[in-house]
């Protein structure tokens, strides 16, 4: 028997549409279709997420505050091993959690900051202004998420951040051809 196929549900209202995406999780849990009356781990996971969804905004607030705190630590103390790791992890967590929290457009700016930190051979050479631009972009995209043009603006902003970051990384890695290939050769792993 074929796995159960889900499709996106669209509810149209006078001034907007609500799109509930198809459930892709089920196919990764089991090849057998759900049998009514049996325990459904996907339904349990979705229920748990739905229960927490009201808190996602405050969770994203906390993550943005944490990113800002780590940025300020870098600006105050410099790029030490500890401050660099904390800034990277704060950006990485936002990149990974943005979609779950309902703010997927934030992930690209956070990804760009992760790339900046990861591929710079000497973090002390990262311009503080470039770090500021990334952190401010993450916070601005999140703050303005309810705007009708937020997705478009986030895409433009993230693309520009990526360009500036890549220019810096290419320069800093000009004598490291293996790293240059990684920087210029692969697409972002962040979903669009």
Q: Answer whether residue 4 is part of any domain.
A: no
pLDDT at 137 over 50: yes
125 and 44 in a single domain? The answer is no
123 and 105 in a single domain? The answer is yes
Q: Which of 63, 79, 178, 187 is nearest to 119 (CA)?
A: 178
pLDDT at 3: 43
Mean of the pLDDT values across residues 6-28? 64
- Going by pLDDT thresholds of 50, 70 and 90, the confidence category of residue 4 is very low
151 and 66 in a single domain? The answer is yes
Q: Answer whether residue 10 is part of any domain.
A: no
Q: Answer whether residue 85 is part of any domain.
A: yes
92 and 177 in a single domain? The answer is yes
Query: Has this prediction a pTM greater than 0.75?
Result: no
Q: Which of 47-56, 71-80, 172-181 has the lowest mean pLDDT?
A: 47-56
DSSP string, the chain: -PPPP---EEEE-SS-EEEE----HHHHH-SSPP-TTS--HHHHHHHHHHHHGGGHHHHHHHHHHHHHHHHHHHHHH-S-HHHHHHHHHHHHHHHHHTTTTT-TTHHHHHHHHHHHHHH-SSGGGS-HHHHHHHHHHHHHHHHTTTSTTHHHHHHHHHHHHHHHHHHHHHHHTTT-HHHHHHHHHS--SS--
Q: Answer whether residue 6 is part of any domain.
A: no
Percent of the chain predicted with pLDDT > 70: 68
Q: Which of 168, 164, 159, 163 is nearest to 190 (CA)?
A: 159
38 and 131 in a single domain? The answer is no
Q: Answer whether residue 1 is part of any domain.
A: no
Per the model's pLDDT, the better-predicted residue between 29 and 145 turns out to be 145
Q: Answer whether residue 162 is part of any domain.
A: yes
126 and 82 in a single domain? The answer is yes
Q: Answer whether residue 3 is part of any domain.
A: no
- 85-101 pLDDT per residue, tens: 999 999 999 998 888 88
Could you give the CA distance from residue 133 to residue 189 in angstroms, rounded to a whole number? 21
How many domains, the chain?
A: 2
120 and 37 in a single domain? The answer is no
- 161-182 pLDDT per residue, tens: 999 999 999 999 999 998 988 8
44 and 121 in a single domain? The answer is no
Instruction: Find the radius of gyration of the CA atoms of the chain.
Output: 20
- 116-135 pLDDT per residue, tens: 999 999 999 999 999 999 99
71 and 163 in a single domain? The answer is yes
Structural domain including 78 reads 56-185
39 and 112 in a single domain? The answer is no
Per the model's pLDDT, the better-predicted residue between 124 and 58 turns out to be 124
């Amino acid at each position: 028997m074929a796995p159960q196929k889900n499709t996106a549900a669209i509810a149209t209202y006078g001034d907007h549409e609500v799109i509930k995406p198809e459930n892709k999780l089920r196919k990764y849990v089991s090849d057998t279709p759900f049998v009514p009356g049996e325990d459904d781990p996907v339904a349990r996971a979705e229920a748990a997420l739905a229960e927490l969804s009201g808190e996602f905004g405050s969770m994203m607030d906390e993550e943005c505050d944490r990113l800002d705190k780590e940025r300020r630590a870098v600006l105050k103390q410099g790029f030490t091993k500890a401050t660099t790791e904390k800034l990277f992890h704060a950006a990485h967590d936002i990149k990974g959690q943005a979609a779950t929290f309902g703010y997927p457009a934030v992930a690209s700016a956070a990804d760009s900051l992760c790339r900046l930190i990861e591929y710079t051979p000497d973090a002390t050479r990262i311009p503080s202004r470039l770090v500021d631009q990334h952190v401010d972009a993450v916070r601005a995209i999140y703050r303005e998420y309810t705007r009708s043009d937020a997705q478009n603006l986030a895409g433009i902003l993230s693309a520009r951040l990526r360009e500036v970051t890549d220019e810096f990384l290419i320069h800093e890695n000009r004598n490291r051809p293996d790293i240059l290939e990684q920087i210029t050769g692969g697409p972002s792993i962040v979903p669009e």
